[in-house]
Amino acid sequence: MKNTNYSPETHLILRWQQFCEDDKTAFSEIAELNYSALYHYGTRFTVDRDLIKDCLQDLFLEIWEKRHSLSGVAAIKPYLFQSLRNNLLRRVRKQSCFSDIHDDDVQDDLSPEISWIIQETDQLTSDRLKQAIDSLPKRQKEALYLRYYEDLSYEEIANVMGLQRQAVANYLQYGIHKLREYWSHSAILLVLCADFNWH
Instruction: Pick out residues in 162-191 that bind another protein (CB under 8 A).
Output: 176, 179-180, 183, 190-191
CA distances to 12, 31, 33, 47, 53 from 36, in Å: 15, 9, 7, 16, 10
Please report, for residues 74, 149, 156, the alpha-carbon distance to residue 146 in angstroms, rounded to integers and kept in the order given.
18, 6, 9
According to CB under 8 A, which residues from 106 to 145 bind another protein? 116-119, 121-122, 124-126, 129-130, 132-133, 141, 144-145
Closest listed residue to residue 152, CA positions, set 18, 37, 10: 37
Instruction: Decide whether 47 or 101 has the Cβ nearer to another protein.
Output: 47
In the list 90, 95, 148, 155, the residue contacting another protein (rule: CB under 8 A) is 148
What is the total residue count of the chain?
199
Cβ proximity to another protein: between 125 and 170 the closer is 125
What minimum distance in Å lies between the beta carbon of 96 and another protein? 22
**Least Å distance between CB 21 and another protein?**
9
If one asks whether residue 57 binds another protein (CB under 8 A), the answer comes out as yes
Q: Which of 64, 86, 109, 174 binds another protein (CB under 8 A)?
A: 64
Residues 6+ apart with CB under 8 A from 111: 96, 98
